[in-house]
Structure 1
Amino acid sequence: MKINMRTTLIGFATLLFPLMASAQQAPNDITGNYYLPPVSKPGEGGLLKSELIYELDNRPTPEVHASTLIETPEGIVSAFFGGTHENNPDVGIRISRLVEGEWTWPEEIVNGVQNDTLRYPCWNPVLFQPEGKPLMLFYKVGPSPTTWWGMLTTSTDNGKTWSTPIKLGEDPKIGHIIGPVKNKPVQLKSGRIINPTSLEYIINGNEQDWMVYFEVSDDGGDTWEIIGPVHDGVEFDAIQPSILTYADGRIQAISRTKQGVLSQIWSEEEGETWGEMTALTLPNPNSGTDAVTLADGRQLLIYNHSTKEGKQPNGRNILNLAISENGQDWKPVMTFENEPIEDGYAYPSIIQASDGLVHITYTYNRRSIKYAVIDPNKL
């Protein structure tokens, strides 16, 4: 008899939700061991800066979401999608650059215009700088995440101007190649680039089936090979992985899920094959995360330490940073936000710059993008 692992896990998670109800009053991870620090203030501890890229009373679009950031030789660059609201045809991709400590006005650089009478929304930009190649900006165009396709534009002047976008193409395994679905690619010492990505299929008429896969390139991003999907979509509905690397050559991918937890999956062969997908001990309210491997080998994960159930803070009303040395044992070390708000704090992006500082952006109530800088030596 085949056991429905999805039903089993959901039932188990349901039993856990009462224990996970309040991050301030009681432990709210799976093991019950974590204490969440109070909201950090700039200048205290490791948080050096926290500011909006643009003010709420002077917005380029009614809503924005899904930011990404990269370090260039001329400074930090961020991109995000913006328009009337997510999935509206007027949503395009905007770029803002940090110049002499100030963010430039977010300018739309690409959109989903198909012809004089048809325009589709844009989604989830991802910035990436491959070795010896122009700066890349991946993004998606299409009516929805179940039907979108991947696009790519490049810049040779650190994000000031951009090339005519091209479509990434198709593959028999997955249909449209979409590039990194939310979080940044990694380039390994061998030169291989791995795009962490995922599929959202429609099954049984309207239910979505979520599955993680990877796109790998050994020629600097000119062509892509599809690896996966790497799990069967039964035990975990997982999407939007981020990749961590380890000194012994292993790779870990951490994803959001519908099951109330973050999931993990490991590779020992540069992403060619992957092991079993399992749960981390950290909760997840079905919201995007991001992670980065620090130069000293430690791992940082930015995420919502909550579930969709229970008392506040729940859902996307809290945003946290956790640290780990092995990818298995995580300790929350910082709380960025912990105040109920209409559209929450979500879809973070995190990098470490050449000076060692960690840079973060995330959606602030879908009205602006918030930018934070951390000294990891103080965590």
Structure 2
Amino acid sequence: MAEKKSYVFEENNVPFQICHATNCLALDNNDLLVTWFAGSREGNNDIAIWISRFSKGEWEKSVVIADDKEEPNWNPVLHQLKGGRLLLFYKVGRDIHSWRTMIRISDDRGKTWTEPRELVPGDKGGRGPVRTKVLTLSDYSLLAGSSSEQGVWTTFTDRSIDEGKSWVRSESIALDDISYHGEKTVSHTDIEVSEQSFYGRGIIQPTLWESKSGNVHMLMRSSEGRIYRADSADFGKTWSSAYATSLPNNNSGIDVVQLTNGSLVLCYNPVAENWGKRSPLRLAISKDNGNTWKDIYTLEEGEGEYSYPSITRKDQTIYLSYTWNRKRVAVWQFEEKELEE
């Protein structure tokens, strides 16, 4: 990727009207995979999971890798295990509060996939990663950030010690000082999301990092105008209460990645309004484990929706993808030293 910024596909060269919720992953062979959901409108039955590969200097043709056909598909997340096996997690269901999490597996770096199966058989509500990447912790367990959107939104984590075959759920993390009685939380917005998203308050879609062995932290999207945080000292088995940070949040997705020297880079919309504008989209850096932050780069600004970033690192290269006006998938590449200067 010679340019810092590229687009996975041209807007007029795909058979869908909208795309959203990207997730990117740099593979062990240096290919870059980006996946997202797309169709006619968020929440419609034709919403499927798409993927594209950046290899040998160009983006390959985007293809569908999961399509339930009878219900919408949501929020794909890719993860590569140490031996090379790829895991694809995604949600299926019309109602967000009763999502089922599906998993497909690839042993050829995403060229072919197994048939889907439920990640946790019988679950209704969505286990495993809800939107952001899965962490491989220092004890080799997998930790996924998840959440529930029913009434008061809550966050939790799922932990696996057998490479994703089984999962143990943490207790839910909730905000103690909010109430919700079924009313809409926004009266007008230009954001094209499923109508059900405008109901509920709380914290969802955590993004995770491990500062030292066993000490894991999360930042969470919220309806309260701020990014919230919680901390764990036991590999994500138990968590502190959630507390507000100084970072603004517009009730839209965020993502964080840890650099090789321990600094954190956050991608977010710095807008302190529930269902506020999803512009600008910026990078911020923290050199004290997320206690303080400094904006360092503006990826997008002006009118439009630039949202739901996915940010990951391979060696000292940072990759990030996001929704560009619901019409395209934008991808950036940085070297760590560019973000530390």
Tell me the TM-score normalised to structure 2 length.
Answer: 0.88
| Pair 1:327 & 2:327 matched | no
CA–CA separation in structure 2 for the residues paired with 1:339 and 1:59: 25
Cα distance change on mapping 1:162 and 1:234 into 2, 3 Å: farther
Shift of 1:146: 1.3
Secondary structure of the residue aligned to 1:140 is strand
| Pair 1:244 & 2:209 matched | yes
CA–CA separation in structure 2 for the residues paired with 1:229 and 1:157: 36
**2:318 aligned to which of 344, 353, 358:** 358
**1:298 aligned to which of 243, 250, 263:** 263
% of aligned pairs identical? 32
| Pair 1:371 & 2:327 matched | no
The one-letter amino acid paired with 2:111 is: K
Matches within 5 A, 1:1-379: 49-74=4-29, 75-113=31-69, 119-132=70-83, 134-170=85-121, 175-201=124-150, 208-232=151-175, 234-235=177-178, 237-247=202-212, 249-308=214-273, 315-325=277-287, 326-341=289-304, 344-354=305-315, 356-379=316-339
Structure 2: tracts of 5 or more residues without a match = 179-200
Shift of 1:334: 0.5
CA–CA separation in structure 2 for the residues paired with 1:232 and 1:282: 17
The one-letter amino acid paired with 1:338 is: E
Q: More deviation in 224-233 or 63-72? A: 224-233
Secondary structure of the residue aligned to 1:237 is strand
After superposition, what is the alpha-carbon deviation per residue over 1:217-264, rounded to whole angstroms, capped at 9, x for unaligned?
Answer: 111111111101023564471000000111354111001000000000
The one-letter amino acid paired with 2:41 is: H
CA–CA separation in structure 1 for the residues paired with 2:97 and 2:8: 30
Cα distance change on mapping 1:229 and 1:54 into 2, 3 Å: same
Q: More deviation in 261-270 or 98-107? A: 98-107
Secondary structure of the residue aligned to 1:57 is helix
The one-letter amino acid paired with 2:262 is: G
After superposition, what is the alpha-carbon deviation per residue over 1:38-96, rounded to whole angstroms, capped at 9, x for unaligned?
Answer: xxxx99xxxx5112111122233111000001111331111100100110100100110
CA–CA separation in structure 1 for the residues paired with 2:159 and 2:42: 29
Contact 2:226 2:247 in 1 (8 A): yes
Shift of 1:191: 1.2
CA–CA separation in structure 2 for the residues paired with 1:282 and 1:145: 26
Cα distance change on mapping 1:147 and 1:248 into 2, 3 Å: closer
Cα distance change on mapping 1:233 and 1:239 into 2, 3 Å: farther
Secondary structure of the residue aligned to 1:146 is helix
Cα distance change on mapping 1:227 and 1:309 into 2, 3 Å: closer
CA–CA separation in structure 2 for the residues paired with 1:282 and 1:179: 26
Other-structure match for 1:16: none
CA–CA separation in structure 2 for the residues paired with 1:108 and 1:101: 22
Contact 1:307 1:315 in 2 (8 A): no
CA–CA separation in structure 1 for the residues paired with 2:213 and 2:144: 20
- How many pairs were matched up? 315
Q: Please say which structure displays the higher CA radius of gyration.
A: 1
- 1 or 2 for the larger relative contact order (CA 8 Å, sep ≥6)? 1
CA–CA separation in structure 2 for the residues paired with 1:88 and 1:231: 30
After superposition, what is the alpha-carbon deviation per residue over 1:316-350, rounded to whole angstroms, capped at 9, x for unaligned?
Answer: 02100011122110111001011112xx0010000
Tell me the TM-score normalised to structure 1 length.
Answer: 0.79
Secondary structure of the residue aligned to 1:377 is helix
The one-letter amino acid paired with 1:142 is: G
The one-letter amino acid paired with 1:231 is: A
